[in-house]
Amino acid sequence: MASLSAQHQAIADFLSEHALALAQAASLQLPDRPAGSSEAALLEEIRSHCQPLADALLMNSVSLIEAHLEHVRHEPGPSPARDEQLRQQLNALRQALSQRLTIMHYNLTLPYFYAGQEVLSKPAAMVEAPTQSALANDAPLVEAAREYLMHLLAGRRTEALAGIRQALRAGTNVRDIYLHIFMPVQREIGQLWHQGKVDVAQEHYCTAATELAIATLHAYLMAAPRNGRRLVAATLSGDLHVMPLRIVSDFLESDGWDAYFLGASTPAASVWQAVVAHRAELLVVSASMSHHVGRVRELLALRPDACADTCVLVGGAPFNADPQLWQAVGADAWAPDAMSAITEAKRLFSGKTRRGVLV
């Protein structure tokens, strides 16, 4: 009998290859058609559930299908009617699969459907639009963080950057500026955007300004003694969230690593080429949304022999939502945040030789 993972692989392949046919079969079973939506849009929507379901099966992670549904229920906006549509689509997809898979394979898909239905049974507002500010009253440097955010929201980048220089002059540690100003401010902007209180242009402006502020701090990070090791850092094709990766990579640089930073949306082959070309001992990969996790798994499945010894450290929101997921993608380690990334990298390399030297 095929092993469990081979069976999961077979179902995932089936879902990926026959997504359109499954969506067509499922759409015929739907009791209600959403008013004003075209047949093509409906098919596309049902089809869009197949890849997250396949990823969830492949990586044995209900959180991947949960995150997908949490995301789509907010488009165009959360409502009981929207949740009901999605519930019906999931049911119809499940029925379509029940007619095409063996009973054993079909049974393996059920936990993921149940997890999806469970998500849709909870109020949307509780799941994805937290109302509590990321800038809590008692947080360290909260005044500096609020001022920084206030300047950015008012379009005053120069004043915001002056506040960062002021904090440095006052002796604030550079890592603390990341931890207590840049990171909570980015999260706060995400919340404000999600709540419709800032627009896309403001979010882009704030993020670009923080990228500029971060660039001005690079020399401070590099002041630490070098450890003689090199890392490559990347997010993979389709993932535009470069800031979380930037923060992790900068923290590792501040601990002595030299970083070859590729930034956003990098093709897998280019990532491995960079690892080989720069003799990197560590590959740092970030995934910001659940549908980016499949790319990480594909990257690691394509690992060339020349990189057999490269350690792979992964992280990002989907890995934080399911702390077993890093193993399912084939990584060597995971860390929930930038500070723990330093600890994890130290653990991975403790006692490992570097160019013949025991460190």
- Positions that interact with ligand B12 (CB under 6 A): 67, 70-71, 183, 186-187, 189-190, 194, 203-204, 207, 238-245, 247-248, 284-286, 288-289, 313-317, 320, 335, 337-338, 341
Alpha carbon 226 to its chain centroid, in Å, reads: 29
If the CB atoms of residues 42 and 243 are measured against ligand B12, the closer one turns out to be: 243
Could you tell me the smallest distance in angstroms from the CB atom of residue 108 to ligand B12?
A: 25
Closest C-alpha among 141, 139, 341 to residue 255? 341
For residue 353, what are the β-bridge partners?
358
Could you tell me the smallest distance in angstroms from the CB atom of residue 99 to ligand B12?
A: 31
Could you tell me the smallest distance in angstroms from the CB atom of residue 72 to ligand B12?
A: 9
98 three-state secondary structure: helix
If the CB atoms of residues 141 and 317 are measured against ligand B12, the closer one turns out to be: 317
List CB contacts of 60: < 8 A, sequence separation 6 or more.
8, 324, 328
CB atoms within 10 A of CB 297: 19
Could you tell me the smallest distance in angstroms from the CB atom of residue 341 to ligand B12?
A: 4
Radius of gyration of the chain (CA): 23
355/118 Cα distance (integer angstroms):
52
119/83 Cα distance (integer angstroms):
9
Where does 237-270 show beta strands of DSSP type E? Answer: 258-266
69/89 Cα distance (integer angstroms):
11
If the CB atoms of residues 97 and 264 are measured against ligand B12, the closer one turns out to be: 264
Residue with tokens 């959180």: 63
If the CB atoms of residues 27 and 249 are measured against ligand B12, the closer one turns out to be: 249
If the CB atoms of residues 196 and 225 are measured against ligand B12, the closer one turns out to be: 196
If the CB atoms of residues 92 and 311 are measured against ligand B12, the closer one turns out to be: 311
Instruction: Give the amino acid at 63.
Output: S
Could you tell me the smallest distance in angstroms from the CB atom of residue 100 to ligand B12?
A: 29
Could you tell me the smallest distance in angstroms from the CB atom of residue 117 to ligand B12?
A: 18
11 membership: H or E segment, kind and range: helix 4-17
Residue 236: φ, ψ to 5°: -100, 170
Could you tell me the smallest distance in angstroms from the CB atom of residue 134 to ligand B12?
A: 8
If the CB atoms of residues 97 and 233 are measured against ligand B12, the closer one turns out to be: 233
